[in-house]
Structure 1
Amino acid sequence: MAQGTHEKPNRPVAVKNVATRLVKTEPTKTCKLFRKFMELARRELWTKEDPGHSVDWKDDRVWGKIQKEGRFYQADEMLVSCGTVTVDQADSTRPMVLVVYNKNIGIYQLPKGRKNFDEGNLEAALRETSEETGVAVQPLRLRFGSRSTPPRLAPVETTTRVTKYGLEDKLTGITEALCSEAVGGNPDPATGAWRHIYWYAAKPLGDTKRDESRMTEEEDRNKFSTFWFPETEAIARLKLQDEQYMVRLVFATIRKMTASDWASSHEQEGWQKK
């Protein structure tokens, strides 16, 4: 679920015939479904077959607009961060959100941090949450729409190999390495790097109490305090609007879940544990 910010990003505008202006249409059922959530904004979406938003891909002006509005970044100009909205007892009447207080800058935050080499975004989000809060977490399966594609083939088993990397330059935050990370892709205020945050819904994996043995960095143990808050208090305390938005979005999705959805979610967790 993921996004780093709820502000509307620039995107190539679909055109009708050869015009480059946006043509307004009636909101789809999907738009209406999401717009009913209070204080949650959503981009206007349409289907690929919508005649009011057809694109003439043979028109050079379309490609010119895409080229003009494109943004290109090298790997050392990018910063990928992953975090969670971790909810305890999401299917109960009193769900609670996991939040940290950053003593260094004096604000409440959702747990997040940079991904490691050869680490998936979800893995990074779960690891960073555990390291910053001292609470082990696992994915929270919720029902919502995604533009990821369903797998078509059975996964192929591969042999895991350990890859050695160089040391991080603490001044720049860059590590030179032979790797298969993305080679390019909201600036990070500390470094100027392009920052993209991937957010995931999660839940505790066992005890909800802080266990500092899970916090591998002494800096994190000293910097962060761990709290569980109700939805409204978490939103009130969080400093960043994008993090407030993510909490609202997760809880709006939780409230749509049916008893059948929860049963299916728990069943899938059981399959993975076998």
Structure 2
Amino acid sequence: MPTTVLITGGSSGIGKAIGDYLTEKGYQVFGTSRNPEKITNSVFTLLKMDVNNIDSINAAIAEVLKNVEKIDVVINNAGVGITGPIEETPETEIKKAFETNLYGPINVIKAVLPQMRKQGFGYILNITSIAGYMGLPYRGIYSASKAALEITIEAMRMETLQFGIKMTNIAPGDFATNIAASRYHAPILENSPYKNDYGNTLKMMNTHVDNGGNPLQMAKAVHKIIETENPRIHYKVGSSLQKISIVLKRILPDKVYERMLLRHYGLK
């Protein structure tokens, strides 16, 4: 059974829920945060890490290995939200989203692979999103960054199986976390042609998060996966409607599915 777990973005939301639950189950958990000194109530060790800084990633992994002989599980959870009409979303914010949601996990994986090869074993779990299975209006950049991570991990999984390393993606739906407060929102501009549609969609997205599931559901799913000898490539954790939306995307004609999304968001 794996015993040592490293979770990026472990100070709040889904990451904290996973860390708390795995600690309760007897795992030795190390979480990361850009500002761990500000967190005083963590039940597991929090280390400083910025997934956008390779030196910071390497330093955190080295710190873990000072305390334990191996890293059994890495959970790439750190991520950022971003909303807005793509036309009105600054390029700098688009790049930031991809740097954190795609390049960050890749760099964490690259940093930990030598240790896992040495061990001959390792689990790498990547928290993606059900939004990554479809282009959602006013959340297109977020959807794209999570979709890119899903596909990247499909490739890396095949490349690293020979070393005894197992990678999987876990796509959550809406959970009650603080992501809505911390994500980048393109401002609703008074003279914008998207003003009404974006404003209404943003309210709907925030309501979905506020009324989302308990992050403990994700924690239990992660625990079950790391106790599985041969995990699947993709997992989805969310409401029945959210999971069915992926199936419908696969089987419906493109324009039929698009009309369904437009109606859901009140855009047509």
- Confirm or deny a common fold (TM above 0.5): no
**TM-score, normalising length: structure 2:** 0.23
Q: Per residue, is there more helix in 1 or in 2?
A: 2
Bigger Rg, structure 1 or 2: 1
User: TM-score, normalization: structure 1?
Assistant: 0.23
Does 1 or 2 have the higher relative contact order (CA < 8 Å, sep 6+)?
1
